[in-house]
Amino acid sequence: MLTADTITAIAEELAAAERARGVIPRITARYPEATVEDSYAIQNVWRDKNIAAGRRVVGRKIGLTSRAMQAATGITEPDYGVMFDDTVWDSGALIPFDAYSNVRIEVELAFVLRAPLEGPRCTVFDVLRATDHVTPALEILDSRIELEGRTIVDTIADNAAYGGVVLGGTPTAPGDVDLRWVSALLYRNETIEETGVAAGVLNHPATGVAWLAQKLHQHGARIEAGETVLAGSFTRPVWVSRGDSVLCDYGPLGVISCRFV
């Protein structure tokens, strides 16, 4: 495992890269002995530095929730990161392209909690009971670490590649729809790029939220009431360039749009 000084130094590199909208060399290229535990330690130091600087955590993101993505990356469980208050956009937003590096979009559902979630045996039913509403969401993927050759260790340390989120559509009570069957059509510049069904997220999008509650419990933490949790993508990432318009049609759950300027 990496030393505490090395973990802090990498976290500071990542913070500097975020400020400069740049990328740093892969952690695993420089420290091949780095573990998943190291990567979460780096992420936690980076998170705490941001909180100390005045940013506020408003939620969590879960990634690598589809079997296809897990197989492609050689992992057996998802990963997670944090969402800050200044990374949330409303549907219709004009989003500055230069605020991110290697911009990609993923299609997700966001769970907004009215009660905290914790415990080693949190279930899908616990998640649904604790959820105030579910809303369509587009995750903006960002990279503060070079993409080529990166591993799960690099991705987790990089706050699970989270950059921002666009929320919109029609907020829906979790009992009003079978969330497994929520589907979406993702368009870029009026051309359809991806389609997906939410069951692709571990058979039910709430499964990832339950997994996260269990994982955080191991570290004495929980998902708090009022937090928003991105449950994981049910499409592949779609690359975005400056000037691109993005629209995602969730059918009965409404539409999200944004443009990168």
Query: 115-169: per-residue pLDDT in tens?
Result: 999 989 999 999 999 999 999 999 999 999 999 998 999 999 999 999 999 999 9
- Residues 105 and 124: their CA atoms lie apart, in Å, by 26
User: Which residue, among 202, 222, 226, has the nearest Cα to 212 in the 3D structure?
Assistant: 222
Question: Does 71 score more than 80 pLDDT?
Answer: no
Query: Per-residue pLDDT tens for 164-206?
Result: 999 999 999 999 999 999 999 999 999 999 999 999 999 999 9
* Cα–Cα distance list, 12 to 3, 43, 64, 259 (Å): 14, 10, 25, 31
- CA 163 to each of CA 83, 84, 222, 245: distance values in angstroms, whole numbers, following the listed order: 8, 9, 22, 18
Is it the case that residue 73 has pLDDT exceeding 90?
A: no
Cα–Cα distance for residue pair 57/245, rounded to 1 Å: 28
- Give the chain's length: 261
Give yes or no for residue 70 having a pLDDT over 90: no
- Tell me the Cα Rg of the chain: 17
Give the DSSP letter of residue 202.
Answer: T
What are the Cα distances from residue 17, in Å, to 23, 77, 157, 259?
Answer: 6, 27, 13, 24
Residues 6+ positions from 205 with CB-CB distance below 8 Å: 108, 109, 111, 134, 179, 180, 182, 198, 231, 232, 234
Q: What's the CA angle centered on 186, arms 57 and 112, to 5 degrees?
A: 30
Question: Which residue segments constitute the domains of the chain, with CATH numbers given?
Answer: 4-260 (3.90.850.10)
Neighbours of 25 (CB within 10 A): 11
pTM metric for this prediction = 0.94
Listed residue (237, 246, 205, 223) closest to 109, CA to CA: 205
Residue 132, burial from CB neighbour count under 10 angstroms (0-12, 13-18, 19+): middle
